[in-house]
Amino acid sequence: MTLTVTDVSLRGLVAAILEKTSAPAAEAKAVADHLVDANLMGHDSHGVQLIGRYVDHIQKGLCKPGTRVSCVNDAGAILQFDGGRGFGIVVGREAMQAAMARCKTTGVVLMTLRHAHHIGRVGAYAEMALAEGLVSIHFVNVVDHQPMVAPFTGRDARFGTNPICIGIPGTARTAPFLLDMATSAVALGKVAVARQAGTSVPDNAVIDAAGQPTTDPAKYFGPPQGALLPFGLHKGYGLMLACEMLAGALSGNGTIQPETPRLGGIVNNMFSFVVDPARLGDGAKIHHEFDELIAYLKDAPTMTGEAVVIAGEPEAKTRDIRIRLGIPLPPGTVAELENAAIASGLGYNALKDLKKL
């Protein structure tokens, strides 16, 4: 049975679990807020269902709370950082804050972050830039564990889900554009959530260990393990490979090729551009084009009778609904929270204080 809870009580529980697992209070709160915000926006794959893995990685030394980001190359408009296996959500914010501050001086910044634990929902970093009126583009790869996604025409997994994110500021008339997507047909977390909820995954998203298409999420996990597929056939595969080279190789950490260690954790590397659009000419003209383009798209007749959707709108709508009506947690996610509370030493009864709706 699905449990529906308030975001406030869920933030408190997740922060308490992380604090009990040795995370400093400020970091525990930052990570909890990030995960619960992902749930609020409908990105349950990047929400609190991850908490069990975070606790496990901390206890195994694969995630190191209390670690600050380290700048390893400051070359003006180029900034490179090492996360030292600290919370990716924490070191990612620190790296992004530094990139945005430098962008105000240089107009454009290329920032790389390597060796960070899971950085979470990449759209959160674009939102940081949007709040400062900045454009940002992000490419991410995933290492430290077995691959999950097959290359185009391949049967065995060779990639992580390698997300791409683009954020473009809005205007007084038009909301910002925020595209945040995995280059796999679905994120691995969505397959995990589907298994927890007892539902299917979409067609053309998963193959079993024999390379046969399936909509059963359990066939991905095996054993033996199947694989996710890239979105858009060869197009998604090409972007997935670009993420691997940009974020993995150019950050200085590594790609998912077998020489890169696989210790069973989650390590993200990120390659980002941050741009100040005020340096790109007539701001009024840019805003006019943005407004008129979105209006033109919204005016298009549709096959469903509903308005054309712009990237970022579904998340904003879901956030409004879930703040009012609560966050639904399928039984599998509730079990993850219970197990994480026990593993952290907080105890099974920690969930009794979750405020239900």
Q: Kindly report, residue by residue over 230-275, the tens digit of the pLDDT.
A: 999 999 999 999 999 999 999 999 999 999 999 999 999 999 999 9
Region 55-82 average pLDDT: 98
Region 148-162 average pLDDT: 96
* Burial (Cβ within 10 Å: 0-12, 13-18, ≥19) of residue 137: middle
Q: Indicate the pLDDT class of residue 91, thresholds 50, 70 and 90.
A: very high
Asked whether the beta carbons of 148 and 161 are under 8 A apart, the reply is yes
Q: What is the rounded CA–CA span in Å between residue 197 and residue 73?
A: 45
Region 97-119 average pLDDT: 98
CATH number belonging to domain 1-59+326-357: 1.10.1530.10
Helix, strand, coil % (nearest 5) of the chain?
45, 20, 40
Task: State the pLDDT at residue 347.
Answer: 87
* Burial (Cβ within 10 Å: 0-12, 13-18, ≥19) of residue 190: buried
What residues are paired with 159 via a beta bridge?
Answer: 149
Region 208-229 average pLDDT: 95
Equal CATH topology for 1-59+326-357 and 69-184+232-320: no
Task: Parse the chain into domains and list their residue ranges.
Answer: 1-59+326-357, 69-184+232-320, 194-229
* 215 three-class SS: coil
- Indicate the fold that domain 69-184+232-320 takes in CATH: Ribosomal Protein S8; Chain: A, domain 1 (3.30.1370)
pTM, full prediction: 0.95
